[in-house]
Homo-oligomer: A and B are copies of this chain.
Amino acid sequence: MEPIYLRIFNDIEAKILAGDWRPGHRIPREHDLVDDYGCSRMTVSKALAALVDRGLVVRKRKTGSFVASPQIDRTVMDIQDIGTEASLAGYEHRYKILARRIETLDSVEAAQLDSTSGAEVLRIQCLHIVDGKPTAVERRIILLDTVPLARIESFAAAPPAEWLLSQVPWSKAKHVIRAVPADAATARILEIDRGEPCLNLIRQTWQNDRLVTYVEITHPGDRFQFAGIFHPAKNPRHVDSPTG
């Protein structure tokens, strides 16, 4: 038998991840959940505290509990969004959409992405310029089934990574980081020599087992690095943490 607090946790998590409860949506107050599940307040509290820790919920006395704005886990964030990182480091960041078209996945690509063949996707190529220098090529595929709004998005206001984060909560992400030699096309775009070492990040992001996006980001090895400072979870996380 699944513990009650886990059932509550899972129910609410599912609603949020399914997009049923959007960010800002008010979660039933403890008292209501007590009634709904026929359990004690402590049990409800345990579930909600775990959701706070999971980053899906924020709580405030007197005001209530709300679905949190989707936020990348801080330890993943470090390699998440070039623009954010650049401006955190005090650099100027621009980007240019080099290509943008809607396609259907052929079977080879579909298999590669672990997705279904024939799905409609938006394919984007984007150059990131940090401090005046070309710093990354971003080649991205967005599944239009999962993110229909992408069809009409121009990415003029925010680059694809940032726009997606504001649209879709993610439930799973897979990263691969490699060192690769620059191919001809990449070398031209990044203004480096062919064969130069490049840092290559591939990320797939899912929402409830539906692929949201596949992206490959290639950085010149001499102009970019991934860095992060990590602490083992600082304040008590997970269960019954007060300050969040």
Chain A interface residues (CB < 8 Å from chain B): 3, 5-6, 9, 42, 46-47, 49-51, 53-56, 72-73, 75-79, 170-181, 195-200, 219, 221, 224-234, 236-243
Contacts and interface: CB of A to CB of B under 8 A. Distances in A.
- Does more than half of chain A's interface fall in helix, strand or loop, or is it mixed? mixed
A50 B239 contact: yes
Which of A174, A232, A239, A240 has the most CB atoms of chain B within a 10 A radius of its CB? A232
Given A197-B221, A221-B197, A237-B54, A230 B176 contact: no
A55 B238 CA distance: 11
Contacts of A238: 49-50, 53
Contact of A181 (B79, B221, B231): B221
Contacts of A224: 178
Contact of A177 (B9, B56, B196, B225): B225
Contact of A239 (B46, B199, B221): B46
Given A53-B237, A73-B75, A239-B53, A199 B178 contact: yes
Nearest to A177: B226
B232 A170 contact: yes
A178 B221 contact: yes
Nearest to A78: B230
Contacts of A77: 75-76, 79, 175, 177
Contact of A237 (B50, B231, B237): B50
A231 B171 contact: yes
Contact of A227 (B47, B170, B174): B174
A236 B54 contact: yes
Contact of A229 (B9, B173, B243): B173
Which of A75, A226, A227 has the most CB atoms of chain B within a 10 A radius of its CB? A75
B55 A232 contact: yes
A227 B177 contact: yes
Nearest to A240: B46
A179 to B, nearest CB: 3
Contacts of A227: 174-177
Given A46-B239, A75-B76, A178-B243, 5 more contacts: A5-B240, A73-B75, A75-B75, A175-B230, A179-B179
